[in-house]
Chain A
Amino acid sequence: MSKKKEVNCEELCPEWECTQPSEYSGIWVVGEIDETEETISEPSLQMLTPANYIASKLGVEVEGLLLGYDKELLEKAAHEMIYHGANRVRILTSNKLKPYIAEVYARIISQIVDKYKPEVVFFPATMKGRELAPYVANTLRAGITADCTQFDVDEKTGDVLMIRPPFAAILLAYIKTPTRRPQIGTARPNVFPKPPRDASRKGEILWEDEKEYKIPRPRTRLVRVEYMKREEIPIEKAEYIVSGGRGVGTLEGFKMLEELAELLGGVVAGSRKAVDLGLIPHDKQVGQTGKAVKAKLYIAVGISGAAQHVVGIRECRVVVAINKDPDAPIFKHADYGIVGDWREIVTELIKALRERTKKAS
């Protein structure tokens, strides 16, 4: 790879600290602790897939970064990152980091990144990651690209290509940050598979000293938490998904989809149209402005199949489409399509699945 041109500090916005890309090296993944599961979150591990890929292309190593207040838990999470491909993991633990406050975490991550100067920092685009990453990027005056679906390296310059579908999801924009480091990128959960786990992998765990960092006085205080009752698996974790769109049309129609989902041991989801019509809540929306899913079987009912929707089902193994319009774009993105009235087809499908279970038992 050719050497990069030096940045001329005179040409830079005076609000930015002038640094040279050559001062930065290595790929970082900021890990997130799943507080309910008491371990590293799945989306954090998934980010190790593109991190390992970019690291091998650039001939550098992958490092994890973990922040929190529970030493034992953080150490366990660090080992998981190592088992999934990180070469080493840096941990900062402090009582002042309890509970999680975005601004406090973001400011400390910024300080640690600024100290060790990795060339790339990845965050999972979870709810917390989406809140942290832009603050960190801005504090460092770094470039950030959200919701990437691929990452690659520009062989000529060594810049990382952050690849994301812009607003119509039919196209891919290759975004790079030629003069600033670190290059910050995020990807939504389930866009990348988790690397295989190998518990024999060894890696270093480095404990950061909290005294070396300015932990800001929190201006935000958590005063109350109320957990929602979760009877169902969230759609991003479901193996079977029955998804409805405008064609399903009514709440009563969605009841039928629920019946089908229940038979499959799965959950109901929907398109953006279904959310706009108030037929399902936003946390069950599949697609670009909703979630990406990785079901074994995805059944799209009355969904036309806009690019913004199908971008969310790329990781599904088998896609079935039911739609009355034979020209609906969803059929191009389905393995099996049935043209016809969704009510009749879903009714028959429910019947057939019931009989199938009866036969089996």
Chain B
Amino acid sequence: MKRPRIVVGIKWVPNTQAVRFDPKTGTLIREGVPSIVNPHDLDAIELALKTREKYGGEIIVVTMAPPGAEEGLRHVIGMGVDRAILVSDRVFAGSDTLATSYTLAKTIERIGRVDLVFFGQETIDSSTAHIPAQVASWLDLPYIYYVESIEKLELKENKVVVKRKLEDRYEWYEVELPVVIGVAMHSNPPRPISLTNKLRAVTEKPIEVWTNKQLGLDPRCIGLRGSPTIVSKVTWQPEIPRKRKIYQGNPKEAVKWLIKHLEEEKVLP
């Protein structure tokens, strides 16, 4: 019987919650800020693991990142994925989402037969949600966002039924394979890391590193040159002027003070 081959694309991101700001120099303090696997990608890994439990098959994780991301790949190997590919080369530096999605699409092509491609719906560092649609466009595949679950996978019929959640409704779609899926945020809380699996990362070495030697991509299509958008400058975010009136003391008096002001502002119902 045919088993599904699932690719999950993940991103190694700075832990934005830990980023600090240096008011003296006006810069972000990124040193010492740990990087993590984008938390929303863990939902995608979890959905892949659930799918493999039900239908068998193989899970291949792909990330485009500097070598440090190996730590993140070991983390997801700890969750139980079969293979991990680190796409890493200086020539990919400076990629915007067009160049990134191109590189990822070419990586997926090189993997060979793939039935399902999962991504976390967005990343915590840039939260554009571009990559799933862009990868689908490069590979000429159907795509679908905000998916919570795989309802039915029929490899023989070449189709999958997925359920997704919009603001006010659930929708079920039947999609032809292969398909690119954006996995909804918070939809599949990740399982804990198993020590046995973690050891596999060391003993079996399932991490492969692919540079542009393997991929052979035209330098005009990758990195800075393959990126139509550029960051022309960075400035402070102007603050919204607020009154900043503070009351410290007895709660009852504080509330009286607050209500008086809110009445003056005419914002109470």
Contacts and interface: CB of A to CB of B under 8 A. Distances in A.
Interface of A: 11-16, 36, 102-103, 106, 127, 130-135, 137-139, 141-147, 154, 161-162, 165-180, 219-228, 230, 234, 240, 264-265, 275, 281-283, 288-289, 296-297, 306-308, 311, 314, 317-320, 326, 331-341, 344-345, 347-349, 351-353, 356
A166 B173 contact: no
B19 A336 contact: no
Interface string B145-173: 11000000000000001000011111111
A127 B97 CA distance: 19
B265 A176 contact: no
B185 interface: yes
Contacts of A225: 169-172
Given A167-B125, A224-B172, A338-B251, 20 more contacts: A13-B221, A14-B221, A15-B102, A15-B221, A127-B166, A138-B134, A144-B229, A174-B235, A175-B230, A219-B142, A222-B173, A225-B172, A227-B168, A240-B269, A317-B265, A320-B262, A326-B246, A336-B246, A348-B254, A352-B256
B161 A352 contact: no
Interface residues of B, number: 87
Contact of A331 (B131, B240, B244): B244
Contacts of B16: 167-168, 308
A127 B145 contact: yes
A134 B130 contact: yes
B172 A172 contact: no
27 contacts: A12-B220, A15-B218, A127-B146, A134-B131, A135-B134, A138-B101, A138-B134, A141-B228, A146-B128, A146-B129, A172-B234, A174-B231, A174-B232, A175-B230, A221-B174, A222-B172, A224-B171, A226-B170, A282-B185, A282-B186, A288-B127, A289-B122, A289-B185, A297-B262, A314-B240, A338-B254, A348-B251
B164 to A, nearest CB: 10
Contacts of B137: 134-135, 138-139
Contact of A223 (B17, B172, B246): B172
B267 interface: yes
Contacts of B218: 13-15
A289 B240 contact: no
A341 B251 contact: yes
Contacts of B143: 102-103, 135
Contacts of A167: 14, 16, 19, 124-126
Given A13-B220, A319-B242, A127 B167 contact: yes
Contact of B28 (A168, A331, A334): A168
B124 A289 contact: yes
B97 A144 contact: yes
